[in-house]
Chains A and B, each alone.
Chain A
């Protein structure tokens, strides 16, 4: 195995581990930390099922964002839906033979990658030119957007300019998966794309990208309005009840 292969492969594997461990750790923390009071933003659904639907709508439609800022909603949707389509399209590199829906949606994935780039350009422009957003931006906010853009552009370059040997890529990825090293395709665009995507995975659980998990755990959205029906005393608050008349 070449040194390059060793370095790239280790980075990808370690990034993947950082991703899985990091997400699991945060989700476990969120799930195990008590929510001591009902803090839903009203009007809130009365039932758990209703609250689940509310969260579902936030995840699928970005409903609150739509009420807040139509332009941001549009570019954000372009980016996220594009990203989702691109990720689905990528399944064919991991599953052989690709399931029929994945095979059928390949052209949609290409449209998705353009939507993603358009969305990212809009988000970057906002961060540069909107004075309020510029005020709250730090280097890392811009870095994440540039990283995503670089991943998208290197991917598009492979699709339209220098297509890699798909069979070799699949073989390499399958090798990583099984800890059975295979040759790394000598394709600069591919190596760049792979390393950047791995870097994205590695930082996701440790950065603001954690909103992927946070959106499901947000108490203001996922709590039903059952405050007058149920008590929600956290374990740490229980001793207080013993000191009352």
Chain B
């Protein structure tokens, strides 16, 4: 393994000791602001408005009235510091403003100043400060160094969720014309074309035909990748990265084989060809609603009976936790199935019932570990019972490979560390942050590689997969080490030749 270890890894058990404080270490790391066209396409002002201070405070007031979590979280923090060493970006950078409580305080200080009597009275003694240009710049910097992974929330005695606060901050910034290029450009593409990549229907059709050929060449079996098929049983909504990127596409091939083998008719939609909903990252309910309702329209137009999502963490959070509220009710779908379902739950169920058979020998030589995606682990569930998000993928892996090993318990389950690229940060200009934020995960991975000869790590989120394949080589691990959950299924599933 070529070891380009410009970042030292620990071999100790568990998580490294938290770093020493390195004030302002990351103060120059920020994403590109959005161009006027990107902002205006979403109904935001093109550039910073003249009276942005007043408008930002007014927006904050509106958000406070609309959101109980925001109000309660801004009021309740006791500065106990229990969350301080729980963020992967703090671990990787040592910048104190990457401690969750300090990140919250960037917004809370302004809240205290304008919305609480004690903050107004005591000013900075009470941690209150007026909103000025420096504060705005600090917001833009450090609220884009939060992947909204919610690890901090798990450990906070009041469950204060920094993700909610950074979403609110981004929404306020958007409302005064300071958007982030990466997210806003992508959201615009979804409104226009239907997916994050801006992939038009014809290109999508081509790609799917290509995949059918590949699978036929590979297995001799005629596995279909249907698009816009009216009356199909299942509408599959999957991240658009599944159509192109590695190892995502191997996962998509896995879903197709599962549907094929289970005899389930299914289809993709060219209108709703994206599972991801980046509007969550910018905290915009309205944008999120608009994107989510493309899925509703596709389901109605195609007359499907079930809604199934492919592998993706943040997409699954919006799907599992928000979709019913945003785009329901789903009374026109088959009431016997939850809406939506995750492909992993379907595969798991088929394995249990003997509906598909997996052959571990096909994955001989693999020792696999699992990266729990934050949004699956901490913000949703995969099956019907709380905790299914941990057992389902592990049982699928155990059924398809000879050896499975978990990473350190403080880095999996609901304590899982973010890959470092979530929350709208998966953009090249933030690569420094992304590498540093991956360090806790890379440490835990190194431990199982060294001690248990782990050869592959499974990811079940499009962002995790893209982030790891790009960043893990910096830690000396090849990109091929990252595999999709359904890639393992794809390799091990026994396909019956269809008559």
Contact = CB atoms under 8 A, between A and B. Distances in A.
Contacts of A40: 321
Contact of B77 (A140, A208, A227, A244): A208
Contact of B321 (A38, A207, A234): A38
Interface string A214-243: 110111110001011111111011001000
Nearest to B84: A132
Interface stretch (B159-167, B193-201, B429-437): B159-167
Interface in B280-304: 285-286, 289, 293, 296-297, 300
A225 B124 contact: no
Interface string B113-148: 000111000101111000000000000000000000
Contacts of A210: 75-76
B154 interface: yes
A136 B160 CA distance: 16
A21 to B, nearest CB: 12
Contacts of A38: 321-322, 325
A26 B75 contact: yes
A228 B489 CA distance: 27
B115 to A, nearest CB: 11
Nearest to A35: B68
Nearest to A211: B76
Nearest to B104: A136
Interface size class of B (residues with CB under 8 A): 35 or more
Contacts of A43: 381, 386-387, 389-390, 414
Contacts of A136: 79, 81, 84, 96, 99, 101-102, 105
B324 A228 contact: yes
Contacts of A138: 79, 124-127
Interface size class of A (residues with CB under 8 A): 35 or more
B67 interface: yes
Contacts of B490: none
A230 B387 CA distance: 20
A68 interface: yes
Interface stretch (B372-380, B462-470, B478-486): B372-380
A218 B68 CA distance: 8
Interface of B: 18, 20-21, 64-69, 71-73, 75-86, 96, 99, 101-102, 105, 116-118, 122, 124-127, 150, 153-161, 164, 285-286, 289, 293, 296-297, 300, 320-322, 324-325, 327-329, 338-340, 377-381, 385-387, 389-390, 414-415
8 contacts: A41-B159, A58-B158, A132-B85, A132-B96, A136-B84, A217-B68, A219-B159, A232-B325
